[in-house]
Amino acid sequence: MVCATFRFYDGLNDFLARERRGRAFDASCAREATTKHMIEALGVPHTEVELILVNGVSTGLDTLIEAGDRIAVYPRFSSLDLGDMSDGARIAPRPPGRLRFVADAHLGALARLLRMAGFDTIYDKAIDGDAIEALALDEGRIVLSRDRELLKRRAVEYGAYVRALEPQAQLRELFERFDLTERARPFTLCLHCNAPLRPAAKEEVLDRLPPMVRAAQHEFSTCDVCRRVYWKGSHWQRMAGMLDAAAGGHDDRD
């Protein structure tokens, strides 16, 4: 075993044992242990890490730890200005231009809200960790989870630990983390099956409309996969308000 000193910053402290938060501490490391191994052994998923400094020098997740190393670990959101760091210094790679997500089985409401905002989001209440990992690897999807062990899997290149518990707060959290406001394309995906929506003439969907909607609404969109029909009723207005709250960073109850 070798001994190294660790210091985690800002939100990464949430993952640590209470006595290790906000301070430097010594930890025993197995010989040949990497920074990734020890950071995750201490409780922090690698997807939450932006920068690692070993003895003041930026390094990667595969760096071997040596006796006496002083290791500073910074999150994606930090008061430290990382803007001048080279891309090679960053641990967490930037997600691709087209953001696509896969949500674990506990984030169904969040998946629905992301689809509402126009983000391709795979969700199935029966989906397991292996399937999520495969989707992340094969399709470059960002894994959304409150399971830190899932986010520690090596094949998960892009991921986010969702801290909030309430779905709209979760949506706002992701809007801030991934700067989603300019990328959002609201009401372009089916909330139920994630397929694209298309405009539909009233005559085309007439037999699928409730009587009151037939009389009051004239603009519709439909999903060609599940055949659901959408219109700008009170439910649409509530969703639009939720999206505006997420994009604006304020509570829609204000």
Domain presence at residue 233: yes
Domain annotation covers residue 234: yes
Domain boundary among 89, 115, 145: 89
Do both 184 and 203 map to the same domain? no
Domain range for residue 154? 101-188
**Residue 116 and residue 61 share a domain:** no
The residue among 47, 67, 89 that closes a domain is 89
Number of domains comprising the chain: 3
Q: Identify whether residues 58 and 126 lie together within a single domain.
A: no
pTM exceeds 0.95: no
Residue 155 falls within a domain, yes or no?
yes
Neighbours of 236 (CB within 10 A): 15
CA–CA gap between residue 28 and residue 44 (Å, rounded): 16
Are 231 and 220 spatial neighbours (Cβ–Cβ below 8 Å)?
yes
Alpha-carbon span 149 to 237, nearest angstrom: 38
| Residue 231: strand, helix, or coil | coil
149 shares a domain with 108: yes
Over its length of 254 residues, how does the chain's per-residue pLDDT go in tens digits? 899 999 999 999 999 999 999 999 999 999 899 999 999 999 999 999 999 999 999 999 999 999 999 999 999 764 444 444 444 445 655 666 679 999 999 999 999 999 999 999 999 999 999 999 999 999 999 999 999 999 999 889 899 999 999 999 999 999 999 889 989 999 999 999 999 999 999 999 999 999 999 999 999 999 999 999 999 988 888 888 888 888 875 444 44
- DSSP for residue 85: S
